[in-house]
Structure 1
Amino acid sequence: MRRSAESSQDLPLSASPASRAGWSTLQRLLPYLWEYKWRVLAALLFMVAAKLANVGVPLLLKQLVDALTLKPGDPAAVLVVPAALLLAYGALRFSTSLFTELRDLVFAKATQGAARSIALKTFEHLHALSLRFHLERQTGGMTRDIERGVRSTESLISYSLYSILPTLIEMALVLSILALRFDAWFALITLAALAVYIVFTVQVTGWRTRFRREANAQESAAHTKAVDSLLNYETVKYFGNEGFEARRYDENLEELRRVRLRSQTTLSLLNAGQQIIIASALVAMLWRATQGVVDGRLTLGDLVMVNAFMIQLYIPLNFLGVIYREIKQSLVDLDRMFELMDRAREVADAPGAPALQLAGTQAVRFENVHFAYDPARPILRGVDFEIPAGKTVAVVGPSGSGKSTLARLLFRFYDVQQGRVTIAGQDIRSVTQASLRQAIGIVPQDTVLFNDSVEYNIAYGRPGASHDEVVAAARAARIHDFIDATPEGYATRVGERGLKLSGGEKQRVAIARTLLKNPPILIFDEATSALDSANERAIQAELQSAARNKTTLLIAHRLSTVVDAHEILVLEAGQVLERGTHRQLLALGGRYASMWALQQSLAVDDGTAPALA
C-alpha cells in the first residue's frame, strides 16, 4: 500500500465508499464483540433498566408535584404521601446511575477485549505481509491509521451502546407515554421535532465529515513527514536541512489549521440550528401543556412531567451531531485499519503446507531461477547453482548484479517468477514460512537494531537464551570486550535503529545474534563490510568456525573474505558468469581474476593486503 505524504491526503476521501465504511464495517466488528456475548447481553439489560428508571423519574415527579396540591389542614397526607414519593424519586435517580455504571462495568471487558483483538490481528497481519509492502509503506501514516483504528473501536462501541441506542429506547418510551397519557398532539410535536432534528443533524454532519477527513489526511501527512525526518536525523544534519524539514512540516500544519477552522465554523452552525429546533419544540410542548392546565385537562404535575421529559430527551440530542460525526469518523478510521488487514499477502503459505523437514544439514539449490521486482527490469536470469550440504558457496559480483536478491528469495521474502528454490529437495514455496525462516540465519548487509539493550538485541536471535549464552555469542563475534567496557555493560541501550553504535559494532551484534540462533543454514550478506581489516580477519575465523558443517551462502564484495569457499560464483547482470574455487577462477583469468587484481592493488596501496595467491 504505497502511501507518500502527498497521496495520503487523498486516501481518506476515497479510501472506501460510504457503504463499505458503514454496515460492512460494523459486521466485521461484531464477531470481535460476540466473543463476549454474555457480557453484551448483560450490558443491554442494564442499559434498558437504566432507561426505564430514567423515564420513571418524570412520572414520579408528576406524582410528587400533584401530591403537594393538597388542601390545607390535611397533615397526614402531606407527611406520608410526599415522603414516600420523595424516597421513591431518590431511589429511581440512584437506580439510573447504578444501572448505567453496571452497564459500563460489565461491558468494559468486551470493549477493551475487542480493541485488543483487532489491534493484535492487524499487527500480526502486517508482519505477514511481504517485504515489498514494507519497503513501500510510509511508517508515520500507517501507524496513525492503526492508532486511530484501535481508538475508533472503543469510540464506536461507546457511542453506539452508550448514546445512540439508549436515546432511541428513551425516545420510544417517552413517545408512548405522551401518546397514552395525553392527546396525540404531544407525541406528534415531539416526533416531528425529533425527525427535523435528526434529518438536519445527519445532513449537516454528512456535509461536515469531509472537513474531518481532510483534517485526518493532513494530520497523517504531517505525522509521516515528522517521523520520516526524525528517523533520518543524521541525513538532515549532514545537509543542514533543518529549516527545509520544518517548512515541509509546517505546510501540512498550516493546511491542518485551515481545515480545522472550517470544521469549527460549520460545527457552530450545526449547534445553532439544533438549538433552534429544540427551543421551538419545547415552546410548542409547554404552550400546549400550559393550555391544558388552564383548561383543567391537565394538572400542574403534568406540566412539570412534560417539561422534564423534554429536557431529559433533548439533553442527549444536543450531542447527537457530535456523536453522529464521531460514529461516522470511527467507521472510516476502523475501515482504514480493516483495509490494512485486507491487504493481500504477496507471499502466503499454501493451504495445509507442512513444516520444512530437515534431518541434519541439507543442500540448498537454485534451479533456473528468474526474478524481477518490476517486470520491466529483470534481476535474475536463469540462475542455477547448488550449495551442497555442509558446504559454503560464495557469490560475488558488482553492485546490482542480484547477490542480495538471492538471500531474499531463500528467505522467501519474495517468490520466484520462474524456476524454484529447494532445501533438501523441498520447494520452499510448499512449506511454511515460519519453519523455513527458523532454519536459516542471516547477517544482513544493513543491520538495524531495536531501541533496547545490547543483550536484548543479541538474545533476539533466540528469545529465552540465558545471559551466559548471550555472552558466549558476543565473545565469538568479538564484541564482548566493547560491551563489558561500557558503564552499563549488556544493559547499554543502542538507540533508535542502533544509531548509538558504530557500523562495525552493529554488524558484530548482528553476527552475535545469528551465532546464538545457530541454524543449519547460514547467509552472510556482506557480513564484515562495516569492519576494519584487523577485525575483519579476526571475525572471519569465527564465521568460518560457525559455518563449519553448515550449509552457507556467502555474499561478498571483498574477495578476500571468500577465498576459502568451496565454490565461488561470479554474478553479473543476473547471470552466473563464472564459477569455481578461488584458485580455479584466478587461473581462468576472467572477470574474477580482474576483480581480484584490482582489489589487491587497492589493498597494497592501503597496506592491508592479505598474503593470498
Structure 2
Amino acid sequence: MNSLARILRSASALWPYYLGVVLISTAAAALGLVSPFILREATNTIVATLQGDNTVADVTTTLLLLAVGLLVADLANTVMHNIGGYIGDVMAMRMRQILSTRYYAKLLALPQRYFDNQVTGTVIARLDRSITSITQFLQSFSNSFFPMLIQVVAVLAITAWYYWPLTVLLALLFPIYMWLTTLTSKRWQKLEGQKNEQIDVANGRFAEVIGQVKVVKSFVSEVRELNDFGTRYGRTVEITRPQSRWWHTMDTARGAALNVIFFGIYLVLFFRTINGYFTLGDMVMLIQLVNMAKQPVFMMSWIVDAAQRAIAGSKDYFKVMEEEFEPTANAGLVAATEASGVPVLDLTPTSPVVPVPGSPVIEFDGVSFEYLPGEPVIRDVTFQAAEGETIALVGESGGGKSTLVNLLLGLYRVSDGHLRVCGRDVTDLSAAELRASVGVVFQEASLFSGTIRENIAYGRPDATDEEVFEVARRANAHDFIVRFPQGYDTVIGERGLRLSGGQKQRVAVARAMLKDAPVLLLDEATSALDTKSERAVQAGLDELMKNRTTVIIAHRLSTIAGVDKIITLHEGVVDEIGSPDELAASGGIYAELLQLTASSSAADRARLKRYGFVVDGAGEQEESEQD
C-alpha cells in the first residue's frame, strides 16, 4: 500500500477532496447508525404493547414519529451517500488528470534513448491500464468502503458499551482477514504482473497494426496479427486460472473464518437476550449494528482485489516516473512531473540562438558517439559549416550520417569531443534552445491529425494567417492547398493520410520554413518521392535553404552537386572534406559514386544503393540532365 499512499501524498492539491470525503463519510456513517436505535425503540414499544403494558392508542403517535425519524435518517443518509459519491468521482478524475499529466510530461522529458527500446503502443497502453486501476480503486474506496470503515469504528464503540466480549469478537474479524490476505498477496501480484506484461505487449502491437494497417493488408498479414494478439490474451487466461484459483481458495478460507466468528457473535446475542441481559429491541439493534460491520468485512475481499490491481499498476507507473530525465530537458516539463495540481506551463516559444558573427554555425570538434557502450558509431568527427553554407553528408548506410543529425537535434549527447551550434557548446544549451535553432525536414513528413494550417504552424502556433500563407507559397504548397474545399482548414487525418507523399513533404517544408531556424537539416527529404513530386518539393527546399546553414543527407548526387562542401564518411570516420569539384577528382568515395552512377552494371548499381542513392532507369546522370 506504500505506493498508493505515495500517490495520495504527492497529489496534495486534492486535500479539499480528501477532507470532503472524510466529513461526508463521517456524516453518512452517523446517519446510518440512527436507524438501529430507532428500530430498537420501535421494537421495545411494540413488544411492551403486545404484553399489555401499553394500549395501541397510546403508542400510535410514538410509532408514527419513530417511522418518520427512520424516513428522515434514511433520506439524509441517501443524500450524504450521493454527495460523497460526487466528491469521490471528481476526486478520482482529478487524480487521473494529475497522474496522466505527470506521465505525459515525464515521457516528453525523457531522452530519445528511452523510446528506442519501447513499443509506442505499449507506452500508451501502460498509461491507460496503470492509471485506470489506481483511480478506480480510489473512487471505490472513497465512495463505498471508507464510509463503512468509519461506521465500523462507531459500531465497535457502541457494542463495547453494551457488552465488551462482543466487541472483541468483532475486532478479531480484521486482523484475521488481513493476515489471510497477506498470505495471498505476494503470489497474486506476481501473477498479475505477468498478465500485465502480456496485455501491454498485445495492446502495443495492436496500436502498431492499426497505425500501419495498409502495410498489414498489403502483406496479407491480418490473420497472423490477429492470431498473435489472441495468443497473448490467451496467455492471460492461462495465468488467470492459477491466480484466480489461489485467490478464491484463500478467499474461501477468509470467508469461513469470518463465518465462524459471526456464528459466535450470534450465539452471544441470542443467549444474552434469552437470559434477560438484552431486551428484544437491544438484540435487534445489535444484530443490525453487527451486520453493518459484517458488510465492509466481506467487502474487503473486493476492495483488496482492487487495491492489489492498483498496486500492480502503480509499480509500472512509478517505474517510468523514476527514469532519468533528458540532461537538458525543459524545466517546465520537469516541474510538471512533480506538480501536485495542474501544472502552469510557460507557453512562450523558445527563441533560436543567434549565430556569432565570424564563428562557425556548426562545429564538430573530435566528436565520437556510441549508442551502446563499446560500440562507437562515429569516431573523432571534425568539420565546420559557416553561416549560409550548405554541406552534404555522404557515406554508406550505417556510416553515421543520421547519427550526426540526431546529435545536432540534441536527441543524444556526444560521448566525446565537442559539438557547437551557433557558437555555443550544446552542453551549455537547453534542449529547447538547441532545437529551436535547428529546423528539420525528415524523409517521412510526420504530420499530425488536424488541419493543414495547424500542421504548418506547429512550431509557431501564434503565426498569423498571412505568415502561414506566405511560407506555403514559398514551399510550393499553396496551390494544392487552396484546391481543397476547406483550404487551409482541411483536416488531413492521422499522419496526413489524406495527402499524397509530395503534398505532405511540402507541408513539412512550409512548417520548417515558418520555424525560421538558422540551421537546417534535410535528412533524405525527397528520397521517398517520385520524380514529379520531388521536383515540386525540391523547389520548396531551395527556397527554404536560402540564408541558412544547411546539412543535407541526399539520395541523388544531382541534389548535392551544387553544395559548398561535401563530407564523406566511412565506417563512422570522416574520409574526405571538400567541394564537389575537389572531391570529384580526389579518387575517394564521392569520385567512386560518380563512376558508379555512370555505370549500368547490376553490381555497381547495388553498391550505389548501399550509399542510399536512388537508381532510376538509365541512371542518375540522365535524371540529372532532366532536372
Same fold (TM over 0.5): yes
2:46 alignment partner in structure 1: 68
Contact kept, 8 Å, 2:390 with 2:563, in 1: the verdict is: yes
Please report how far the alpha carbon of residue 209 of structure 1 lies from its aligned counterpart in structure 2 after TM superposition: 3.8
Deviates more, 1:231-240 or 1:131-140: 231-240
In structure 2, what residue type is equivalent to 1:64? A
Deviates more, 1:106-115 or 1:291-300: 106-115
Q: Quick one: structure 1 residues 205 and 300, their matched pair in 2 at CA, closer, same or farther if it must change by over 3 Å?
A: farther
Contact kept, 8 Å, 2:378 with 2:400, in 1: the verdict is: yes
Q: Quick one: structure 1 residues 217 and 571, their matched pair in 2 at CA, closer, same or farther if it must change by over 3 Å?
A: closer
CA distance in structure 1 between the aligned counterparts of 2:56 and 2:161, rounded to whole angstroms: 33
1:52 aligned to 19, 30, 35, which one? 30
CA distance in structure 1 between the aligned counterparts of 2:39 and 2:250, rounded to whole angstroms: 33
1:242 alignment partner in structure 2: 222
Once the two structures are superposed, the pairs formed by residues 72-471 of structure 1 within 5 Å of their partners are 72=52, 74-75=55-56, 77-182=58-163, 184-204=164-184, 206-266=186-246, 268-270=248-250, 272-349=252-329, 357-358=353-354, 363-471=361-469
Deviates more, 1:75-84 or 1:428-437: 75-84
Contact kept, 8 Å, 1:201 with 1:320, in 2: the verdict is: no
Deviates more, 1:323-332 or 1:104-113: 104-113
In structure 2, what residue type is equivalent to 1:46? I
SS of match in other structure, 1:35: helix
SS of match in other structure, 1:528: coil
1:39 aligned to 6, 12, 17, which one? 17
Q: Quick one: structure 1 residues 608 and 458, their matched pair in 2 at CA, closer, same or farther if it must change by over 3 Å?
A: farther
Contact kept, 8 Å, 2:444 with 2:525, in 1: the verdict is: no
Please report how far the alpha carbon of residue 327 of structure 1 lies from its aligned counterpart in structure 2 after TM superposition: 0.8
Please report how far the alpha carbon of residue 266 of structure 1 lies from its aligned counterpart in structure 2 after TM superposition: 4.6
Once the two structures are superposed, what CA deviation does each residue of 1:541-600 show, in whole Å capped at 9, x if it has no partner? Answer: 432332222222222232211222222212222222222222222233432122123335
SS of match in other structure, 2:623: coil
SS of match in other structure, 2:420: strand
Q: TM-score, normalised to structure 2's length?
A: 0.86
Please report how far the alpha carbon of residue 284 of structure 1 lies from its aligned counterpart in structure 2 after TM superposition: 2.7
Deviates more, 1:462-471 or 1:142-151: 462-471
Question: Mind listing any 5+ residue stretches in structure 2 that lack a counterpart?
Answer: 335-349, 600-614
Please report how far the alpha carbon of residue 418 of structure 1 lies from its aligned counterpart in structure 2 after TM superposition: 0.8
Once the two structures are superposed, what CA deviation does each residue of 1:122-173 show, in whole Å capped at 9, x if it has no partner? Answer: 1011011121211210222222211122213322322443444433322222
SS of match in other structure, 1:378: strand
CA distance in structure 1 between the aligned counterparts of 2:372 and 2:355, rounded to whole angstroms: 37
CA distance in structure 1 between the aligned counterparts of 2:325 and 2:24, rounded to whole angstroms: 43
CA distance in structure 1 between the aligned counterparts of 2:351 and 2:424, rounded to whole angstroms: 10
CA distance in structure 1 between the aligned counterparts of 2:217 and 2:20, rounded to whole angstroms: 58
Deviates more, 1:422-431 or 1:77-86: 77-86
CA distance in structure 1 between the aligned counterparts of 2:127 and 2:449, rounded to whole angstroms: 21
Once the two structures are superposed, what CA deviation does each residue of 1:491-515 show, in whole Å capped at 9, x if it has no partner? Answer: 5544443445443333222212112
Deviates more, 1:532-541 or 1:370-379: 532-541
1:574 alignment partner in structure 2: 572
1:23 aligns with 2:2: yes
CA distance in structure 2 between the aligned counterparts of 1:189 and 1:453, rounded to whole angstroms: 68
Contact kept, 8 Å, 2:356 with 2:422, in 1: the verdict is: no
In structure 1, what residue type is equivalent to 2:272? G
Deviates more, 1:101-110 or 1:344-353: 344-353
CA distance in structure 2 between the aligned counterparts of 1:400 and 1:208, rounded to whole angstroms: 46
Please report how far the alpha carbon of residue 75 of structure 1 lies from its aligned counterpart in structure 2 after TM superposition: 4.8
Q: Quick one: structure 1 residues 170 and 98, their matched pair in 2 at CA, closer, same or farther if it must change by over 3 Å?
A: same
1:609 alignment partner in structure 2: 623
Deviates more, 1:52-61 or 1:410-419: 52-61
Contact kept, 8 Å, 1:356 with 1:426, in 2: the verdict is: no
CA distance in structure 2 between the aligned counterparts of 1:476 and 1:389, rounded to whole angstroms: 22
In structure 2, what residue type is equivalent to 1:66? N
Q: Quick one: structure 1 residues 447 and 136, their matched pair in 2 at CA, closer, same or farther if it must change by over 3 Å?
A: farther
2:612 alignment partner in structure 1: none
Q: Quick one: structure 1 residues 357 and 480, their matched pair in 2 at CA, closer, same or farther if it must change by over 3 Å?
A: closer
Please report how far the alpha carbon of residue 490 of structure 1 lies from its aligned counterpart in structure 2 after TM superposition: 4.0
Q: Quick one: structure 1 residues 23 and 264, their matched pair in 2 at CA, closer, same or farther if it must change by over 3 Å?
A: closer
Q: Quick one: structure 1 residues 211 and 535, their matched pair in 2 at CA, closer, same or farther if it must change by over 3 Å?
A: closer
SS of match in other structure, 2:566: strand
Once the two structures are superposed, what CA deviation does each residue of 1:47-95 show, in whole Å capped at 9, x if it has no partner? Answer: 1121122123212221221122234453564033222222222222223
Please report how far the alpha carbon of residue 268 of structure 1 lies from its aligned counterpart in structure 2 after TM superposition: 4.6
Deviates more, 1:515-524 or 1:482-491: 482-491
Contact kept, 8 Å, 1:202 with 1:324, in 2: the verdict is: no
2:520 aligned to 519, 522, 525, which one? 522
Q: Quick one: structure 1 residues 114 and 284, their matched pair in 2 at CA, closer, same or farther if it must change by over 3 Å?
A: same
2:509 alignment partner in structure 1: 511
Contact kept, 8 Å, 1:560 with 1:610, in 2: the verdict is: yes
Once the two structures are superposed, what CA deviation does each residue of 1:447-466 show, in whole Å capped at 9, x if it has no partner? Answer: 32223343433332422434
CA distance in structure 1 between the aligned counterparts of 2:65 and 2:532, rounded to whole angstroms: 94
Once the two structures are superposed, what CA deviation does each residue of 1:217-259 show, in whole Å capped at 9, x if it has no partner? Answer: 3222322232233334344334333332232222212222233
Contact kept, 8 Å, 1:364 with 1:423, in 2: the verdict is: yes
RMSD: 3.0
Q: TM-score, normalised to structure 1's length?
A: 0.88
In structure 1, what residue type is equivalent to 2:274? V
SS of match in other structure, 1:366: strand
Contact kept, 8 Å, 2:522 with 2:551, in 1: the verdict is: yes
1:16 alignment partner in structure 2: none
In structure 2, what residue type is equivalent to 1:152? S
What is the count of residue pairs matched by the alignment? 590
Contact kept, 8 Å, 1:404 with 1:525, in 2: the verdict is: yes
Contact kept, 8 Å, 2:365 with 2:418, in 1: the verdict is: yes
Question: Mind listing any 5+ residue stretches in structure 1 that lack a counterpart?
Answer: 1-21
SS of match in other structure, 1:65: helix
Once the two structures are superposed, the pairs formed by residues 470-481 of structure 1 within 5 Å of their partners are 470-481=468-479
In structure 2, what residue type is equivalent to 1:240? V
Q: Quick one: structure 1 residues 342 and 392, their matched pair in 2 at CA, closer, same or farther if it must change by over 3 Å?
A: same
In structure 2, what residue type is equivalent to 1:563? A
Please report how far the alpha carbon of residue 350 of structure 1 lies from its aligned counterpart in structure 2 after TM superposition: 10
CA distance in structure 2 between the aligned counterparts of 1:211 and 1:383, rounded to whole angstroms: 50
Q: Quick one: structure 1 residues 541 and 481, their matched pair in 2 at CA, closer, same or farther if it must change by over 3 Å?
A: closer
Once the two structures are superposed, what CA deviation does each residue of 1:377-415 show, in whole Å capped at 9, x if it has no partner? Answer: 322111111111222222222222211111110111000
SS of match in other structure, 1:462: coil
CA distance in structure 1 between the aligned counterparts of 2:356 and 2:78, rounded to whole angstroms: 67
Deviates more, 1:539-548 or 1:135-144: 539-548
CA distance in structure 1 between the aligned counterparts of 2:222 and 2:616, rounded to whole angstroms: 39
In structure 2, what residue type is equivalent to 1:394? A
Contact kept, 8 Å, 2:509 with 2:544, in 1: the verdict is: no
